[in-house]
Structure 1
Amino acid sequence: MHFSRQHILIGLALFALYFIWGSTYLAMRIAIESLPPFMMAAIRFIVAGGVLYLWLRWRGKPAPTLRQWGGASLVGLFLLVIGNGGVAYAEQTVSSGVAALAVATMPLWAAVFSRIWGYAPSSREWLGILLGTVGVVVLNLGAEMRASPLGAMVLLLASASWAFGSLLGKHLPMPQGVMASAAQMLCGGVMLLGASWMHHEAIPQTIEPAAIYAVLYLIVFGSLIAYSAYLFLYNAVRPALATSYAFVNPLVAMILGAWLAGEALGHAEFYALVLIMLAVVLVLPLGRRR
C-alpha cells in the first residue's frame, strides 16, 4: 500500500494528539506544583508561539494581517486562555486523570455548538449528548469533583470553550498553515499573562527542577508539536477524526497519573469514563463520509 506524504503527516499528527496530548495533563500538574497556573500557561505559550513565529518569519512567511491577528486572538481566548488555562487552574484541586476525563466531553459540546453554523445533530448524536450528560453528572458525584465544585465547573467551562473556539476558528480570518498556531499561541499567551496579573500571581522564590522540565516538555511537545498538529488535522481531515483524541487522552492521562503520580480512580470516575467514552463514540461518526 502506498502512503503519500499527507497520509504520513496525518498519522504523525494523530500520534501527537493521542499520546503526547494525553501526557500533558500530568505535565501541567507537575508544573503548577511550583508555578502559578496562569503564569505557567503564559510562559508556555509565549515562548512556544514566539519561537515558532520568529522561525516562520526567518523562513520568509508573511506576518499575519491585522484581521488575522484579530481572528487569532479570539481563537486564542477560547482555546488557550479559557480552555487550556482553565484546565491548569482546575488541576490545582483535581487530578490530571479526572481533568482529562472532563475535557473528553469536548466533542459533545462541539455537537451542540455546531447548530450555530447550521448543522443539526442527528438522533444518534443527541443520544450521545444525553449519555455524555449522564456521564458528566456521574463524574461530578465522584469524590474529587465533590471536593472541588469550582474545579469541576472550570473544567466543564474549559471543555465547552475549546469546542466553541475550534468551530469558530473555521469561520474567522486566520494566517495560513503553521503561522496560525504561532499567532494563536502568542495572543493566548499575552492574555494569560493578563489573567496571571489579575489573579495577583507571584513569581515563586524557588522552582523545583521537575516543574522546569515539565514546562519545557509542554513548550516543545504540548505546544510546538501537538497544538500545531491539532490545527493541521482540523483543516486536513474531517472534524470527527480531528477530535478522536478524546477517546485516548483520558486513558493515557489516567495511566500516567496512576503510574507516575500515584493518582487513583474511584468507582464514580470509572463509571463516568465508560459513559463518556460511549457518548463520544456516538457523537464522533468515524465511519461516515464528510
Structure 2
Amino acid sequence: MSFIQKHPKLLLLFAFASIYIIWGSTFLAISYGLKGFPPFLLSGLRFLIAGIILLVWRDLKGERTSSFRDWKKNGITGILILTGGTGLVTWGEQYITSTEAAIAIATGPFWFIAIDRKNWKNYFSNISTIAGLIVGFAGLLLFLNDSIHSAGGAAPKTMRIAAFAVLALSSISWVLGSLYSKHYRATHSTFKNISQQLVVAGVASFIIATFRGEWHAFPAATIPVSAWLGLAFLVFFGSIVAYISYIWLLSVKHPVIVSTHTYINPVVAVLAGWLFLNESISLLQLAGLLVILAGVLLTNAASYKINKRLVVKIRRASRTLFSSPSGDKYLVDF
C-alpha cells in the first residue's frame, strides 16, 4: 500500500496498460486455448477458476456472502456479460481468426446505443452520434464483405458467416448485461460482485458444454502446453488483473477516458495475431477497422471535453514545436 501511495502514476500506468494490452491480447490467448479445449469448457474453466480465487480473497478479507438475491443479480449479469458475451466470442474463434474477432467486437459501442432505449433521445439528438453510427455501420459492412469472401482460415463460408452473427449476439449480450448490472446492482463490494459473476458464468458455461457434448470430446491427456498457457493467461490476466484494473480505473478516472480501451484493443489484437499466429489482414479489412474506430470516436465525441488549461498547454507546445531556435516560426503546410 505504501508503494502505491508513493507511486500513484505508476499504478495508473500499470492499470491502463492492463486494459489496453491484456484485453487486446485475450483474443490471441483464446486461439491458443482452443488448440486443446472446446470453447465452452475453456470459458467455464476461465471464469470458474478466476471467480473462486477472487471469492476466497474476499472471504479472507472478511466480506461474507449475504443473500440469495445478490447471487441472483450477479448471476444474471455474469451469464449475460461473461457466458454470453465472452463465451460466444470463444465459440466464434473456432471459425474466424482472433484478428477478425477483435475487429468485429470493436462495434460494441454501437450496440450499446441501439439497445439503451432510455437514452435514445440524448443519443439521437446529437449529430456526432448519428454520424458515428452511420460511419461505423459502413466500416462494419466494408470489413464483413471482405472477411466473408476471403479465403482466410480453413472454415467454410457458411460457418464464417455464422461466427460473425454469433459475435454480434455476443456484443448484444454484453450490452444487456451491462445495462442490467447498472440498474440492478447487488449490495456487495465491486470485487465481491465480480467474483460471484465469474463463478455463476463458469457454472453456466459448463452446463452449455455438457449439452454440447464437449466433455466427451475433451482430449484431457493430449492438451498441448500452449493451450494450458492460453488458459492461464485468460484466468490470471484477462479475468483478474485486467478486470480489476478496469473496475479500479472507473473509480479514479472519468469513464470516457477509461473507455479508450475500445480503440486500442483491436489494434493490439491485430498486432498480436500477426506476430504470434501469422494472421494476415487485408487492406480492405484494415480500412474497415479504421472506419469502425472513426465511427466509435464520433459517437463518443460529445463526451470528450477538453479542459481549457489543456488547450493552453497544447498551444504553447505547438508554438515551441514549430519554432526555430532563433525564434522564427516554421511554416507548416498540412
Give 2:26's aligned residue. Answer: 24
Give 2:328's aligned residue. Answer: none
Letter in 2 for 1:157: L
Is the contact made by 2:129 and 2:298 (CA closer than 8 Å) also made in structure 1? Answer: yes
Classify 1:272/1:218 alpha carbon distance in 2 versus 1 (closer, same or farther; 3 Å).
Answer: same
State the 1:137 CA deviation.
1.2
Aligned partner of residue 184 in structure 1, secondary structure: helix
Aligned partner of residue 188 in structure 1, secondary structure: helix
Is the contact made by 1:233 and 1:242 (CA closer than 8 Å) also made in structure 2? Answer: yes
Q: How many residues align?
A: 287
1:189 to 202, 212, 237: 202
Classify 1:105/1:188 alpha carbon distance in 2 versus 1 (closer, same or farther; 3 Å).
Answer: same
Aligned partner of residue 142 in structure 1, secondary structure: helix
Whole-angstrom distance in 2 between the partners of 1:67 and 1:117: 28
Percent identity of paired positions between Structure 1 and Structure 2? 28
Give 1:240's aligned residue. Answer: 256
State the 1:240 CA deviation.
2.4
Whole-angstrom distance in 1 between the partners of 2:11 and 2:130: 33
Give 1:127's aligned residue. Answer: 131
2:67 to 30, 49, 65: 65
| RMSD of aligned residue pairs (Cα, Å) | 2.2
Which runs of 5 or more residues in structure 1 are unaligned? Answer: none
Whole-angstrom distance in 1 between the partners of 2:168 and 2:149: 11
State the 1:219 CA deviation.
0.5
Letter in 2 for 1:68: D
Give 1:40's aligned residue. Answer: 42
Q: Which runs of structure 2 are paired with 1:272-287 in the superposition (5 Å)?
A: 272-285=288-301, 286-287=303-304
Letter in 2 for 1:248: I
Whole-angstrom distance in 2 between the partners of 1:35 and 1:253: 21
Length-normalised TM-score, structure 1: 0.91
Give 2:273's aligned residue. Answer: 257
CA deviation profile, 1:18-40 (whole Å, cap 9, x unmatched): 11100110000110111001000
State the 1:287 CA deviation.
1.9
CA deviation profile, 1:220-267 (whole Å, cap 9, x unmatched): 000111122233344554432332211001110110100110000023
Greater mean alpha carbon deviation, residues 9-18 or residues 181-190 = 9-18
- Answering whether residue 177 of structure 2 is matched by residue 171 of structure 1, we say no
- Answering whether residue 280 of structure 2 is matched by residue 267 of structure 1, we say no
State the 1:86 CA deviation.
0.7
State the 1:4 CA deviation.
8.7
Whole-angstrom distance in 2 between the partners of 1:145 and 1:263: 16
Is the contact made by 2:249 and 2:258 (CA closer than 8 Å) also made in structure 1? Answer: yes
Give 1:143's aligned residue. Answer: 147
Letter in 1 for 2:65: A
Classify 1:237/1:64 alpha carbon distance in 2 versus 1 (closer, same or farther; 3 Å).
Answer: farther
Length-normalised TM-score, structure 2: 0.80
Whole-angstrom distance in 2 between the partners of 1:143 and 1:100: 13
Greater C-alpha radius of gyration: 2
CA deviation profile, 1:33-61 (whole Å, cap 9, x unmatched): 11001000100110000011011101111
- Answering whether residue 226 of structure 2 is matched by residue 224 of structure 1, we say no
Whole-angstrom distance in 1 between the partners of 2:254 and 2:169: 25
Letter in 1 for 2:91: Y
Letter in 1 for 2:179: L
Give 1:77's aligned residue. Answer: 79
State the 1:168 CA deviation.
2.4
State the 1:171 CA deviation.
1.2
State the 1:5 CA deviation.
7.7
- Answering whether residue 226 of structure 2 is matched by residue 213 of structure 1, we say no
Is the contact made by 1:34 and 1:211 (CA closer than 8 Å) also made in structure 2? Answer: yes
Is the contact made by 1:109 and 1:163 (CA closer than 8 Å) also made in structure 2? Answer: yes
Which runs of 5 or more residues in structure 2 are unaligned? Answer: 151-156, 307-334
Is the contact made by 1:142 and 1:267 (CA closer than 8 Å) also made in structure 2? Answer: no
Give 1:154's aligned residue. Answer: 166
Whole-angstrom distance in 2 between the partners of 1:189 and 1:40: 9
State the 1:197 CA deviation.
1.0
